[in-house]
A = this chain, B = another copy of it.
Amino acid sequence: MSETQVPRRGRGRRPATEVRSGVLAAAGRLLIEEGIQAVTFERIAKEAGASKTTLYKWWASPGALAAEAYFLESEPELEFPDTGDLHADLVAQITSFIGLLTRGGAGRPIAELIGAAQTDPDLADAWSRTYALPRRELARARLRAAQRHDELPPDADLDIVIDQLWGACYHRLLVLKVPLGDLDVERLVTSAIRGAGG
Contacts and interface: CB of A to CB of B under 8 A. Distances in A.
Interface of A: 36-37, 111-112, 114-119, 124-125, 127-128, 132-133, 136, 157, 160-164, 166-172, 174-178, 183-184, 187-188, 190-197
Contact of A112 (B111, B118, B194): B118
Overall SS of chain A's interface: helix
Given A118-B114, A119-B112, A160 B170 contact: no
A195 to B, nearest CB: 3
A169 B171 CA distance: 9
Contacts of A127: 177
A168 B188 CA distance: 13
A180 to B, nearest CB: 11
Nearest to A155: B187
A178 B36 CA distance: 23
Nearest to A121: B177
Contacts of A132: 175-177
